């Protein structure tokens, strides 16, 4: 497989993480929030895979700072969210409280590790790093692993990666967004009725 196809698959997987973050964001969005609410949510969901830069520079693949290590942990998600909120949303007049924003960016970042834990290959996820570098997968792993950090693979594999991400990440994300839109409409209608 060519480097271009590898690159495309890595981008597709990054997109899948961003789609999941956007779906989570649909439940947390409040009027008055700027576009960076979405952009930063997507960035938080993608950034854990920056660990491959360290691996390329010589960090051992399965070490604490290796692939799916500290950057995929819940602690990393908590700290990243705690940095994003005051830096990008300080003194903003919105209906979204800092705690609500923190929870969104935490979930957007943590969703990356959870989705990786649904994949059928690669190293497990160090959810509890830096306290514990044990690697975990979920019991159910329907998502075909994307080629990050894995060398030999074939175009048929690439297609299966995209297919499984569409089925197990994009489709549930769209369903979740549709559900939040429906719930918001119902809540809005109920509030309007109560004010009549």
Smallest distance from the beta carbon of 164 to Zn ion, in angstroms?
15
Minimum CB–partner distance for residue 53 and Zn ion (Å)? 13
What distance, in Å, lies between the first and last C-alpha atoms of the chain? 63
48 vs 70: CA distance, rounded Å = 8
Our CB check for Zn ion shows the closer of 25 and 122 to be: 122
- Say how far apart CA 113 and CA 46 lie, in whole Å: 10
Q: How far is the CB of 122 from Zn ion (least distance, A)?
A: 8
Q: Please tell me what DSSP assigns to residue 40.
A: H
Give the residue with the Cβ less far from Zn ion, 29 or 127. 127
3-state SS class at 61: coil
Query: Considering beta carbons, is residue 116 or 165 the nearer one to Zn ion?
Result: 116
CB of 176 to Zn ion, least distance (A): 20
User: Which own/partner pairs from 23-28 qualify as long-range (CB within 8 Å, at least 24 positions apart)?
Assistant: 23/172, 23/173, 23/174, 23/176, 23/177, 24/104, 24/107, 24/108, 24/111, 24/176, 25/104, 25/108, 26/176, 26/177, 26/180, 26/181, 27/176, 27/180, 28/96, 28/100, 28/101, 28/103, 28/104
Q: Which is nearer to Zn ion, 97 or 120 (CB)?
A: 120
Q: Of the two residues 73 and 89, which places its CB atom closer to Zn ion in the complex?
A: 73
For Zn ion, the closer of residues 49 and 165 by Cβ is: 49
Q: How far is the CB of 28 from Zn ion (least distance, A)?
A: 22
In the complex, what is the shortest distance from the CB of residue 13 to Zn ion, in angstroms, rounded to a whole number?
Answer: 8
- Residues in contact with Zn ion by the rule CB under 5 A: 49, 116
Whether omega for the bond prior to residue 130 falls within 30 degrees of 0, making it cis, is: yes
């Amino acid at each position: 497989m060519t480097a271009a196809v590898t690159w495309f698959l890595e981008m597709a997987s990054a997109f899948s993480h961003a789609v999941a973050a956007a779906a989570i964001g649909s439940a947390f969005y409040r009027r008055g929030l700027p576009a960076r609410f979405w952009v930063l949510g997507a960035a938080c969901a993608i950034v854990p895979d920056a660990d491959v830069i360290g691996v390329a520079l010589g960090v051992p693949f399965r070490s604490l700072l290796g692939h799916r290590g500290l950057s995929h942990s819940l602690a990393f998600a908590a700290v990243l969210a705690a940095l994003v909120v005051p830096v990008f949303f300080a003194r903003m007049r919105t209906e979204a409280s800092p705690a609500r924003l923190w929870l969104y960016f935490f979930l957007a970042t943590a969703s990356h590790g959870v989705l990786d834990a649904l994949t059928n290959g690669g190293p497990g996820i160090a959810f509890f790093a830096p306290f514990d570098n044990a690697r975990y997968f979920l019991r159910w792993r329907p998502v075909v692993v994307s080629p990050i950090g894995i060398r030999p693979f074939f175009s048929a594999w690439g297609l299966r990666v995209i297919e499984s991400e569409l089925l197990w990440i994009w489709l549930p994300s769209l369903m979740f967004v549709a559900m939040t839109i429906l719930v918001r409409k119902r809540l809005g209608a109920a509030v309007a009725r109560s004010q009549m």
